[in-house]
Structure 1
Amino acid sequence: MEPDATPSAPFGIARDELYERVWAAPINHLAEELGVTHYHLARVCEALNVPRPPAGYWQKKAVGKEEPRPALPAALPGDQVRWNRDKPLAVPRPKHVHRRVERKAAARPHRPMRHPMLMGVEESFRKSRSDEKNEFLRPYKYLLPDIAASSNHLAVALDLANEIYNALDLEGHRVMFSPADQKMRRIHVTEQEVPRKDRKYGRYHTGSIWSPRRPTVTYVGSIPVGLILTEMTERVTMRYLDGSYVREDSKLVRTAKPWQLVHSWTSEQDLPCGRFRLIAYSPLANVNWSVSWQDTQAADLKSLVPSIVARIQSSEAELRALILAEEKAAARRRKEWAEAEERYRRQEDRRAVEQAQADSRRQLAEIMEKWAAATAVERFFMEAERRLEQVHDERRADILARLALARAMLGEQDPLTFLSDWLAPEERYQPKYPQP
C-alpha cells in the first residue's frame, strides 16, 4: 500500500510538471519524495508518455557530458494528462513494431498488420466461462476489445475488427480503450439480427453476453466515439435429441430414425449466426447518439469499412452539437438541483426552528406543572406547621418528627431550579436563514 501523498502533491501531478521533476532529480529520489517506489513512478511515466533520463544520465551530467533531454511529446485526445493516486493508470501507448521485410514477401499472401489493440487477444477470448458452440464466448479477462463472438467465428470477428481499427488509424483516429481516468459508459446492444419483442438466447432464455470493463473508443478530433462489434443471433428451431438440442435442419435430425423422434421435441432459440453488426455510439453520459452497420445479403460488413470510416469522420459536428446541448442541459439540471437543495435546507431550517419552539413550550408546560406541584407541597407543610403551633399536648413531638420524615422523603423542591433548567428556542437551535 502506498503512503499518503505529500503536501507538495496532495491530489497528483500534472504531466508537464512530472516531466520537469523527472529530469530535475534521479527517479529514486523523486519516488521517495512522492512516497512511491521507483518502479511505480516508472509506470506512471509510461502511462503519461513522459520520457525519462536513460541509464547513466546522472553520471554523465556530473561531469558535464549529458545528452540533451527529449521534448515532451504532445498529448493526444484520450491521453492521461494527470496522475491521481485515487484513479487507475492508463494503458501505455503501444510501441511501433518494425518488421523485417523478406525478399520474397510479395510471393506470400498479403495479411494486414495486426492492430495493437488486437495483438495476442485471441487466446484471452478463448479462455471463456463457457465454450458451447451455440453461445457467445465469455472470457474471464475484462480488459479486451469490445468484441462479442462465438468460438466458431472469433477469428472472423478479429479480422473484421482489425480492418476497421486499421482503417480508422490510417485516417488519424486512433482506436484505444477508454481512458482510465475518465468516466465513459457502454450502451446496451441488441444482438438479434431481426429485432423481436422476445429474446430466447441461452439456457432458459436468460443468457447474458460478455461485455468489457472499459469501452473501446476512437477519437474524432477530441470527441470520443465508442465501437462495439458483435456477432448477431438468428431465431432457429432446435430439436432435443439424444440428450442435447440440435438444429432442426442439421444432418443429425434428417438422418434420425422414427423411433428416435418419438420422445423428442422442438424449441426455438436465438443462436449466433456468423454475421456481424458494428455499432458506433457516444460513450459520454446522456449524449444519445449511435449508428450501426451489419452484414446483409447485399453487402458484407468488410466492404462497408470505407463508408463506416467516412460516417464516423463526418459525425464530429453532430456530436459536438449534442455534447454542447448536454452540457447546457447538465448546467440547467445542476442549477435546478442546487435550487431544490436550497429549498430543502430552508424547509429543514424552518422545521428545526418550529421544533425548537415546540420543545421549549412543552418543557415550559412541564415546569409549570412541577412548579404547581412543588408549591402545593410547600403550602401543605406550611399549613401543617401553622396548625401544629396550636397543639400543646403529647402529640406535638410525634407530629414534628413525622413532618421532618415527610420533608426528608420528598427532598428539597425549589421551583426556581425548574426554571433555571428551561431552554429557550434560540438556545436549542440557531436559525441559518432569516425567519419570517
Structure 2
Amino acid sequence: MDPENAASPPAGITREDLFERVWTTPINHLAEKLGMNHYQFARICEALNVPRPPAGYWQKKAVGKEAPRPELPAALPGDHARWSKGTRLLAPLPKRVYRRVERKAADRPQRPARHPMLIGVDESFRKTRTDEKNEFLRPYKYLLPDIVASADHLSTALDIANEIYNALDLKGHRVMFAPADQEMRRRHVDEQEVPRKDRKYGRYQTGSIWSPRRPTVTYVGSIPVGLVLTEMTERVTMRYLDGSYVREDSKLVRSARPWQLTHSWTTEQDLPCGRFRFVAYCPLANIEWSASWQETDAAGLKSLVPSIVARLHGSEAELQALIDAEEKAAAKRRKEWAEAQERYRRQEDRRAVEQALSHSKKQLAEIMEQWAAATAVERFFVEAEKRLEHLGEDRREHIQSRLALARAMLGEQDPLSYLADWLAPDERYQTRYPDH
C-alpha cells in the first residue's frame, strides 16, 4: 500500500500501519488525504500512542541528517488499537502543571501535585442542574471523573480522589476515562452510609444522582478496574419551616417560637453527610467483583489510601480468575444459544415440510374435484351428441346450436391442465435437513 495515497480503509488503521505512515509521509499530507487538519491527526496519534517525527525532521531528512526512527512502543492498557472514521477518541488529559516552588520552612506541608484527571474539573462540577442546598451536584458535563459530592464537600472529594489517583499512578496503575471503543459499564454504588431497605434521597424522595457517561478506570495489568468516589448520605429528620425544609436539629428550628411550629411538619430524607466511600469494581460485563472503603470516626479515606492501592495492586490474579470463569461461562452460553437456535431451525424446517405436504394434498384434492366436474361436463356433451342422431332434422339443428352455445359459455374443460399446475411437496419447499 502506498502510504501517501492511502485513505482510511473501512476496517480502520492499526497502530502499526499508522506508525509506518507517520514516519514515511509528512503529517500535513496524511491529514489532507484523510480529510482533517494536522491537529486532529495528531490527536489520533496520541490516542493510539504512536510517536510522531520531531519538528524539523523532514528538513533534516532532505539533507540526510534526520534523527533515527524510534521503535513503536507497546500499547498500554486502555490505548486504542485501531482507528477508523467515526471512532470517538478520548479527550486528551491536561498536562500536569509544574510550578517553581520557593524553599519554605521544613515544617510546612507540601500540597501534592494535582492529578491530570482532576485539573480544571472543579468549575465543571459546579455548573450543575440543581442549586438545592443539601443535594448532590448534577453537572451538565458528563465526561468527568466518577466523583459524586455535594457543593459544600466537593473540594474534600477532589482532594481524596487526588490522593488515590496519584498513589495508583505511582504504583504503575494509570487512572483514565474508560476508552470509548471498549464496552465497559458503570456499576451502581449505594450512597447510603447505613444500608437500608428504603431510600429517601432528595426532595420528595425522587432525587436522581449524577453519574458520568464513561467510567473512571485504572488498569491492573491489562484488566480494567472502575473507580467511584461518592459522598454518603445519612437519614435526617427535616422540618418544613418558613417555606423550606430544614434539619430538625438546626439552630433555626431550635430558636423557632411555638406558634411557628404549630403549622409545620416533619419528614425524613437521606442527605449528603460529608463522609465518603470509595468503591473499586470490575466494569466488564458479567464480572461481579468490587471492594469498598468508607470513612469512619476512627479513620478518614486518606489514611486508607495505602490499603486501597495494595488491594487493587494485588487483585490481578483474582480478577483474571473471574474473567477466565466468565469466558468459559460465556462460551457455554454461546454453545447453548447455538444449540437452541439449531433446534428452532429444525423445528421450523419440519413445520415447513409438513406445511408443504398439507398444501400439496389440499391442492390435489381441489384438482380432483375440478377433474370430476370437468369429466362430468364432458360426459354430458358426449351423451347429448349421441342422442342428437335420433332426432329429426329441424330439432337436431336447434339442439346443436344450443350445445354450441353451452360449450362456448363453459370453455375448454381439459382436466390435464389442472394436474399440470399442481406443486408437489418438494417443489414447494426443499428441506435443509435430509434426515427429517
Partner residue, 1:426: 426
CA distance in structure 2 between the partners assigned to 1:101 and 1:69 by the alignment = 37
Task: Determine if contact 1:287/1:326 at 8 Å carries over to the other structure.
Answer: yes
CA shift, 1:321, in A, is 1.2
CA distance in structure 2 between the partners assigned to 1:218 and 1:399 by the alignment = 103
CA shift, 1:205, in A, is 1.4
In structure 2, give the amino acid aligned to 1:340: A
CA shift, 1:109, in A, is 5.2
SS at 1:260 equivalent: helix
In structure 2, give the amino acid aligned to 1:220: V
CA shift, 1:179, in A, is 1.5
Instruction: Say yes or no: does 1:114 pair with 2:95.
Output: no
Partner residue, 2:90: 90
CA distance in structure 1 between the partners assigned to 2:63 and 2:288 by the alignment = 60
Partner residue, 2:371: 371
CA shift, 1:105, in A, is 8.4
Partner residue, 2:3: none
* 1:323-350 Cα distance to aligned partner (Å, 9 max, x none): 1111111111111111212222222222
User: Normalising to structure 2: TM-score of the pair?
Assistant: 0.92
* Mean CA deviation greater in 351-360 or 387-396: 387-396
Instruction: Say yes or no: does 1:188 pair with 2:188.
Output: yes
**Structure 1: gaps (5+ residues):** 1-5
Partner residue, 1:230: 230
Partner residue, 2:200: 200
CA shift, 1:382, in A, is 2.3
CA distance in structure 2 between the partners assigned to 1:275 and 1:99 by the alignment = 31
The equivalences for 1:170-185 within 5 A come to 170-185=170-185
CA distance in structure 2 between the partners assigned to 1:406 and 1:135 by the alignment = 94
Q: Structure 1 residues 59 and 413 mapped into 2: Cα distance closer, same or farther (>3 Å)?
A: farther
* 1:140-159 Cα distance to aligned partner (Å, 9 max, x none): 11111111111111111111
CA distance in structure 2 between the partners assigned to 1:55 and 1:366 by the alignment = 87
CA shift, 1:56, in A, is 4.3
CA distance in structure 2 between the partners assigned to 1:409 and 1:42 by the alignment = 85
The equivalences for 1:4-403 within 5 A come to 9-31=9-31, 33-34=33-34, 38-85=38-85, 87-92=87-92, 95-104=95-104, 110-403=110-403
User: Normalising to structure 1: TM-score of the pair?
Assistant: 0.92
Partner residue, 2:407: 407
Task: Determine if contact 1:11/1:85 at 8 Å carries over to the other structure.
Answer: no
SS at 1:279 equivalent: strand
Task: Determine if contact 2:218/2:225 at 8 Å carries over to the other structure.
Answer: yes
In structure 1, give the amino acid aligned to 2:345: R
Q: Structure 1 residues 416 and 7 mapped into 2: Cα distance closer, same or farther (>3 Å)?
A: farther
CA distance in structure 2 between the partners assigned to 1:274 and 1:102 by the alignment = 34
Q: Structure 1 residues 43 and 276 mapped into 2: Cα distance closer, same or farther (>3 Å)?
A: same
Task: Determine if contact 2:93/2:116 at 8 Å carries over to the other structure.
Answer: no
CA distance in structure 2 between the partners assigned to 1:305 and 1:28 by the alignment = 46
Partner residue, 1:3: none
CA shift, 1:58, in A, is 3.0
CA distance in structure 1 between the partners assigned to 2:195 and 2:422 by the alignment = 72
* 1:266-312 Cα distance to aligned partner (Å, 9 max, x none): 11111111111000111111111111011111111111111111111
Task: Determine if contact 2:96/2:114 at 8 Å carries over to the other structure.
Answer: no
Task: Determine if contact 1:48/1:90 at 8 Å carries over to the other structure.
Answer: no
* Mean CA deviation greater in 275-284 or 338-347: 338-347
* 1:348-387 Cα distance to aligned partner (Å, 9 max, x none): 2222111111111111111111212222222222223332
CA shift, 1:86, in A, is 5.2
SS at 2:218 equivalent: strand
CA shift, 1:33, in A, is 4.8
CA shift, 1:95, in A, is 3.9
CA distance in structure 2 between the partners assigned to 1:117 and 1:330 by the alignment = 34
CA RMSD of aligned residues (A): 2.2
Task: Determine if contact 1:137/1:150 at 8 Å carries over to the other structure.
Answer: yes
In structure 2, give the amino acid aligned to 1:127: K
Q: Structure 1 residues 30 and 389 mapped into 2: Cα distance closer, same or farther (>3 Å)?
A: farther
CA shift, 1:45, in A, is 1.1
CA shift, 1:119, in A, is 0.6
Task: Determine if contact 2:7/2:34 at 8 Å carries over to the other structure.
Answer: no
In structure 1, give the amino acid aligned to 2:243: G
Query: What is the identity percentage for the equivalent residue pairs of Structure 1 and Structure 2?
Result: 78
CA distance in structure 2 between the partners assigned to 1:39 and 1:159 by the alignment = 33
* Mean CA deviation greater in 80-89 or 362-371: 80-89
**Structure 2: gaps (5+ residues):** 1-5
In structure 2, give the amino acid aligned to 1:72: L
Task: Determine if contact 1:49/1:93 at 8 Å carries over to the other structure.
Answer: no
CA distance in structure 2 between the partners assigned to 1:419 and 1:266 by the alignment = 88
